[in-house]
Amino acid sequence: MEIHTLVNERFLQACRRQRTDVTPVWFMRQAGRYDPDYRKIRERHSLLDICAEPELCAEVTMMPVRKLGVDAAILFSDIMVPVGAMGLEFSIRENVGPVIAQPIRTKEDIENLRPFTPSEALPHVLTSIRVLRAELDIPLIGFTGGPFTLASYMIEGGPSRDYLQTKTMMVSRPDLWQTLMDKLADMVIHYGRAQVEAGASALQVFDSWVGSLSVDAFRKSVKPFMTRIFHELRKLDVPLIYFGVNTGELLGDFAETGANVIGVDWRVPLSRARARVGNQVALQGNFDPAMLFAPIDVIDKLAQDILDEGTATPGYVFNLGHGVKPSTDLGVLRHLVETVHAYTPRQTGQGAR
């Protein structure tokens, strides 16, 4: 299989806090329901079908690259896919998310989870990555869920408002919690490694709901596992991104886990995020996806303000603060990419032309 040379490396450069020609941009959930062609494919294929079909998965992954002009692709998949491969049955319910018929509650439930060998359990995902690596001339981001977020789905049985069962296990059965988190951390390490070996140029850990924890709880019950994960994945020498929402108070700890890039939601101004993470990591974010429904001049002004703040220090990747909403206008997203690429930020820590 012929491998394309990456002709556009600005995403990787920004992750490494190197100078870039313009600020790189991609969007979380950039392959999704806002795109009429994606919706057409979803009429005939379920989300999990697409994940299981390498050609289809590669096609869906590349659609936003062609349409929007983003600087990175992200593998089309779902964070629950490897959890399914560990033996926990789940389905994806439309407008709800992952739903697990038999949530994890006991020692036995946790012991029954199978060890995870990516090449045996998910060969089609690795094939998708190889196909994409051969076709793309921009970096492909591989990803996994974060252990806390995965555990929350596994324990609650689906999305949750308060993570009550999850937090209850964490504090009342620290022995079970440790075992479950260790198994999930092992999975993340093996899966991340396999994705990079197949051709992913970076890895993002989506720990979307970890911001539901206090600083104290994060430090005691999650940070040690994240530190082990990033310590292992650092050996792969690709940028490692750690992302969650509502994580303003955790950013300093995030930067200590060994991740190279810290994702920031729209609640935290990037200058504050920078003060909390120090200068040894890059930042990614933090345009509120709801603001894509504003008039174009408001969108442009907000993007430019974010670019000014983000590029004040080397190491900044433009992104939304969370995934693209299904009702977003594709043309607005494309315009936003153009705005990001065209703008010369006021400060010149990065991206000066």
Task: Tell me which residues touch a second copy (CB under 8 A).
Answer: 162-164, 167-168, 171-172, 211, 213-217, 246, 248-249, 266-269, 272, 288-291, 293-295, 298, 302, 305, 325, 327
Considering 10, 17, 29, 193, which one is annotated as catalytic?
29
In terms of CB distance, is 212 or 313 closer to a second copy? 212
Q: Is 29 a catalytic residue?
A: yes
User: From the CB of 114, what's the least distance to a second copy, in Å?
Assistant: 29
User: From the CB of 312, what's the least distance to a second copy, in Å?
Assistant: 16
User: From the CB of 29, what's the least distance to a second copy, in Å?
Assistant: 12
255 is in an annotated binding site: no
Cβ contact 19:82 at 8 Å = no
Q: Locate all alpha helices (DSSP H) within 7-106, ordered by sequence.
A: 10-15, 36-44, 47-52, 54-68, 81-85
Distance of CA 160 to the CA centre of its chain: 19
Q: Is 153 a catalytic residue?
A: yes
30 is in an annotated binding site: yes
Cβ contact 343:304 at 8 Å = yes
In terms of CB distance, is 125 or 155 closer to a second copy? 155
Cβ contact 27:74 at 8 Å = no
In terms of CB distance, is 109 or 305 closer to a second copy? 305
User: From the CB of 88, what's the least distance to a second copy, in Å?
Assistant: 23
350 is in an annotated binding site: no
Q: Is 33 a catalytic residue?
A: yes
- 141's enclosing H/E stretch is strand 140-145
Considering 10, 34, 38, 78, which one is annotated as catalytic?
78
User: From the CB of 271, what's the least distance to a second copy, in Å?
Assistant: 10
Q: Rounded distance, CA 307 to CA 305, Å?
A: 5
Considering 153, 242, 316, 343, which one is annotated as catalytic?
153
In terms of CB distance, is 163 or 242 closer to a second copy? 163
User: From the CB of 326, what's the least distance to a second copy, in Å?
Assistant: 10
Q: Is 78 a catalytic residue?
A: yes
Cβ contact 310:283 at 8 Å = yes
78 is in an annotated binding site: yes
153 is in an annotated binding site: yes
Q: Residue 21 gets which letter from DSSP?
A: S
Pick from 278, 284, 274, 269: which is nearest to 316 by CA? Answer: 284
Tokens at residue 336, please? 């936003």
29 is in an annotated binding site: yes
DSSP per-residue codes, 150-201 = HHHHHHHSS--SS-HHHHHHHHH-HHHHHHHHHHHHHHHHHHHHHHHHHT-S
In terms of CB distance, is 26 or 266 closer to a second copy? 266
In terms of CB distance, is 269 or 349 closer to a second copy? 269
Q: Is 42 a catalytic residue?
A: yes
322 is in an annotated binding site: yes
DSSP, collapsed to helix, strand or coil, labels residue 77 as coil
Amino acid (1-letter code) at residue 18: Q
Cβ contact 203:211 at 8 Å = no
- Give the catalytic positions in this structure: 29, 33, 42, 78, 153
Which residues participate in the annotated binding site for substrate? 29-33, 78, 153, 208, 322
Annotated binding site: 29-33, 78, 153, 208, 322
